[in-house]
Structure 1
Amino acid sequence: MAVQRAVSRARRAAARFGTRQRGPDGRRFGRAGLVGIAALLLAAGTGLGAGPAAAGPIYPAPDPDAFYAAPADVARFNLGDVMRSRQVPAPNYPGATAWQLLFRSTDSQGGPIGAVTTVLVPPGGGANRPVVSYQPFVNALGLRCAPSHALFDGGLREGPVLNLLLGRGWAVAVPDHLGPNSAYGAARLGGRITLDGLRAVQRFAPAGLGASPMGLAGYSGGGMATGFAAALAPEYAPELPLVGVAEGGVPMNIGKLALDLGMQPNPLFGLGFAAAMGLEREYPGQLPMEPILKPVGADLRNRIANGCTDEIIAAGANRSLPDVFSGPLDADPDTVRILHENSLEIFPGVPRIPTYVWHGTNDAVSPQLVREVVGRYCGSGARVQLDMLPGTDHGTAIPEGSARAFDFLADRFAGAPAPANC
């Protein structure tokens, strides 16, 4: 009963997030666009910050490849500086030249970190051709699942799509936007890493992209990182030559979405649990899970600490909050603050570049919140084209919207006037 009481308290606390949006049952999430959200945090974990001191987060096993380790003097580098680079084979991208760059970025506490982006350049070299930073919908806790690995081992489901961008003559940068601890759910971190990754692309002379126009694209969890990059850019990276952003299926408020999932067993429960673990990693000491975990929850936490998407889903399938958490739990200001920091609805920044947003009208991720955020952007002077795709859900909206998104970016690179339906 403690968890049920906590959920009732969390629902009463929902006023901190605004009116709760009701969506379809959690089972409606499309498999292709699985959402990177803290699906537990508000429904049961508004008390994650409460309780006695406990052991810290479970971090992923270090990557055995020494390339990924930030140097001891990482703090002396400027944001976006390339600290290490290497050329890698790219058999999945015929004719492309691929580099991986370790660059300096910053975490959610303001501390220096190393992050990685993979740069693919089509045949003919860089020649200051357009660059698209593509943020995949990575739902993972293990470093082996990061895009810089998954691009080449077949694990990145969106990987083949990048050939369409390369075929347009564009270079593509794919950042490991979950960061060096695979902090799944930390969307604002993803935005910073995305922007610093583009700085690194600019500064890496062998790629030949120092004066390239740049665009951003991503869907679902990748759309969260993309949306934050666009909203952060005016203050965080105003010097970048960004000409357009395309984002789809974006969860605009992870706290509200958490409430909508409720108490029932859900086949995707593991993803929400994993997002709570990712945020615990990114905000150490502020969201300790251990004091409120039942043995089943502690076992799940250990099992998925290095998991990729399918492993996380399988381990947590059809679990529910009462299965893994015990009480008493109370609303906690740290949780509310952290959810706000990682929700585009709350974040005050506004994109200052032409923006394309698409969303399915039948998506379990609230279409109404998307309309409201776009309305706020428009009211602040942003130029936004919003496409609500009739009859599509979180998975089926991907192909139609992606085709329009890439055409939108092509027009921005060509210098065409940006459309808007504000």
Structure 2
Amino acid sequence: MNERWSFRALLVTAATACLLAAGQHPAHAEDDPGVPSGLQHGIDSVVPAPALPPGPPVDGLTPEQAALLRAVQSPPTGDPFFDARPAGLAALNPGDILEQRDVTATATLVVGVPIARATLLKYRSTAANGAPSFGTATLVVPLTPWAAGDRPVLVDNQPINSLGARCTPGYAMAHGPAFKNFATDSVPPTAAWGLNQGFAVLVTDHEGPNMAYAEPNVAAHVILDGIRAVRSTPGFGASRFALGGYSGGAIASHGAAMLLGEYAPELADAVAGAAMGGLVTDNRVIANRFDGNFASGVLLAVVLAYSREHPEILDRMNHLATWVATSPLNAVCGQAIGFLGVVGIPLDVAANVTDALDSAVAEEIFARTDLTDRTSRVPLYIYHGAHDLWIPFEGARELYQRQCARGVDAVFRSEPGEHVVALATGFPGAAEWLGARLRGEPAPTEC
């Protein structure tokens, strides 16, 4: 973080603190949504908008909006495999492989078990708005032979929960353990467990090239196109796939299961099931629950991440928000995001309208990311901490009941403990269920 930005950040923080201390609090629900509150007027009056360099035009955006969209992106990693957007994507089919790299030496150190090979894949995918994009994922193959047909593949959707492009499991696989995103990619050791069972493991960078944390459409596309890419490689054309994920990784697995029928219907017979734990099922409920409390850092990070795929959010940021969103904070990894909420900053402090979560833009984003009307095309294993302080238990149970009513084979497990504890207590059951699906055993149902 350079000295110039640090000084600006200090001024912004001090000004905001003074306004809050003066009693100019965000307007309440009875005020007119869409009209800035006194606090918001105060912030923009003392905090100037950041000066952003001009750049090439972006369809549908003004030059100012395009400059801000570029500035809120995670800085490049320095590795063209992750940074470079290939030309001619529109002419390719989703899942077409663009590039691949052998990363066996570094990936071995990351997964922690001996492997035969690891291949980093870059392939054509689709952005949240349907525009051509790309995705990355790492295919890891164990030393253990697989005698009966093509080797099954466990799709490991880790809780990346990050804003920075260097925070992905793919970047760690390519560059070594120093870039591992805290412990969320190894506790529990999902990839190591799968490899020890003889399964190949596909570790996805499901936030996509724009690091759109928790955006389910992007995650679904990257995962399903990653499966398409693997199926085009020798030895995996007839493989079974099963998806696993917890928390942020569960959002990704859930999105892939729900969108498979419309985005990749040819994979319905190849994907044997999806396991998901600690899942957010209603973004509106979670946003209001996180706003202004100990989880506010997560909410603010998600809003920034969503703006990278839904740039209409940018028009609702005030000057304070644009300074923060274009600062080095837009590259933080998951272990730092939670700590950003310790002061309980409400979203309205970053917005230029009152009741930002009730605004027309928020309604539109909630609608675009709501998958409750979708039906899974694959069997489901859903588990949740009975005392989860972050994500309501009722949402997971309602998902199970809703999918059962639509004829989906599903299992639901209430796990002891809160969100982090349930990650550990729920893993053995989820792993057992995933292993059975990959071995071709029929999926049970408790509907």
Q: TM-score, normalised by structure 1?
A: 0.82
User: In the TM superposition, what are the counterparts of 1:6-405 in structure 2 within 5 Å?
Assistant: 6=29, 56-57=68-69, 58-68=72-82, 69-88=84-103, 89=105, 90-92=107-109, 93-124=113-144, 128-151=150-173, 152-154=176-178, 155-156=180-181, 157=183, 158-159=185-186, 160-205=189-234, 208-240=235-267, 241-264=270-293, 266=294, 268-284=295-311, 286-288=312-314, 291-294=317-320, 298-299=323-324, 302-321=327-346, 324-325=349-350, 327-329=352-354, 331-344=358-371, 346=372, 348-364=373-389, 365-389=391-415, 391-405=416-430
Q: Which amino acid aligns with 1:96?
A: A
Contact kept? 2:296, 2:340, Cα under 8 Å? no
Deviation by residue 1:183-213 (Cα, 9 ceiling, x = unmatched): 11212210111000000011123xx212111
- Cα drift, residue 106 of structure 1: 0.3
Structure 1 counterpart of 2:50? none
Question: Equivalents in 2 of 1:7, 1:244: separation in Å?
Answer: 46
Contact kept? 1:132, 1:214, Cα under 8 Å? yes
* Greater Cα offset, 156-165 or 234-243: 156-165
Specify whether residues 224 and 328 from structure 1 end up closer, same or farther in structure 2 by C-alpha distance, changes over 3 A only: closer
Specify whether residues 324 and 210 from structure 1 end up closer, same or farther in structure 2 by C-alpha distance, changes over 3 A only: same
Q: CA RMSD in A?
A: 2.3
Question: Equivalents in 2 of 1:393, 1:404: separation in Å?
Answer: 17
Q: Which amino acid aligns with 1:172?
A: V
Q: Which amino acid aligns with 2:444?
A: P
Question: Equivalents in 1 of 2:364, 2:132: separation in Å?
Answer: 22
Deviation by residue 1:26-84 (Cα, 9 ceiling, x = unmatched): xxxxxxxxxxxxxxxxxxxxxxxxxxx75533111123111222311122110101010
Q: Gaps spanning 5+ residues in structure 1: where? A: 11-52
- Cα drift, residue 124 of structure 1: 4.7
- Cα drift, residue 147 of structure 1: 1.3
Helix, strand or coil at the partner of 1:105: strand
Q: Gaps spanning 5+ residues in structure 2: where? A: 1-23, 34-63
- Cα drift, residue 125 of structure 1: 6.2
Deviation by residue 1:81-107 (Cα, 9 ceiling, x = unmatched): 101011112232313310001000000
Specify whether residues 220 and 291 from structure 1 end up closer, same or farther in structure 2 by C-alpha distance, changes over 3 A only: closer
Specify whether residues 313 and 289 from structure 1 end up closer, same or farther in structure 2 by C-alpha distance, changes over 3 A only: farther
Contact kept? 2:156, 2:203, Cα under 8 Å? yes
Specify whether residues 319 and 81 from structure 1 end up closer, same or farther in structure 2 by C-alpha distance, changes over 3 A only: same
Helix, strand or coil at the partner of 2:414: strand
Specify whether residues 355 and 101 from structure 1 end up closer, same or farther in structure 2 by C-alpha distance, changes over 3 A only: same
The higher relative CO (CA closer than 8 Å, separation ≥ 6) is in 1
Question: Equivalents in 1 of 2:286, 2:280: separation in Å?
Answer: 7
Deviation by residue 1:189-247 (Cα, 9 ceiling, x = unmatched): 10111000000011123xx2121111111000110110010111122112220111111
Helix, strand or coil at the partner of 1:282: coil
Specify whether residues 96 and 7 from structure 1 end up closer, same or farther in structure 2 by C-alpha distance, changes over 3 A only: farther
Question: Equivalents in 2 of 1:310, 1:230: separation in Å?
Answer: 27
Question: Equivalents in 2 of 1:261, 1:4: separation in Å?
Answer: 18
Deviation by residue 1:250-305 (Cα, 9 ceiling, x = unmatched): 010121111123434x2x43222111100001112x1116643437x734652311
Structure 2 counterpart of 1:18? none
Helix, strand or coil at the partner of 1:395: helix
- Cα drift, residue 400 of structure 1: 2.2
- Cα drift, residue 9 of structure 1: 7.4
- Cα drift, residue 112 of structure 1: 0.6
Question: Equivalents in 1 of 2:30, 2:400: separation in Å?
Answer: 30
Runs of 4+ in 1 over 4 A off after TM superposition: 6-10, 124-127
Question: Equivalents in 1 of 2:244, 2:78: separation in Å?
Answer: 30
- Cα drift, residue 384 of structure 1: 0.5
Helix, strand or coil at the partner of 2:68: coil
Deviation by residue 1:338-359 (Cα, 9 ceiling, x = unmatched): 1232234x3x221122211100
Structure 2 counterpart of 1:19? none
Q: Which amino acid aligns with 2:166?
A: R
Contact kept? 1:274, 1:304, Cα under 8 Å? no
Question: Equivalents in 2 of 1:175, 1:262: separation in Å?
Answer: 29
Q: Give the paired residue count.
A: 371
Q: Which amino acid aligns with 1:5?
A: H
Helix, strand or coil at the partner of 2:395: helix
Structure 2 counterpart of 1:5? 28
The correspondence for 1:408, drawn from 403, 412, 433, is 433
Specify whether residues 279 and 124 from structure 1 end up closer, same or farther in structure 2 by C-alpha distance, changes over 3 A only: same
Specify whether residues 290 and 407 from structure 1 end up closer, same or farther in structure 2 by C-alpha distance, changes over 3 A only: same
* Greater Cα offset, 324-333 or 61-70: 324-333
Specify whether residues 332 and 326 from structure 1 end up closer, same or farther in structure 2 by C-alpha distance, changes over 3 A only: closer
Q: Which amino acid aligns with 2:28?
A: R
Helix, strand or coil at the partner of 1:113: strand
Helix, strand or coil at the partner of 2:327: helix
Q: Which amino acid aligns with 2:221?
A: R
Larger Rg: 2
Question: Equivalents in 2 of 1:321, 1:301: separation in Å?
Answer: 19
Q: TM-score, normalised by structure 2?
A: 0.77
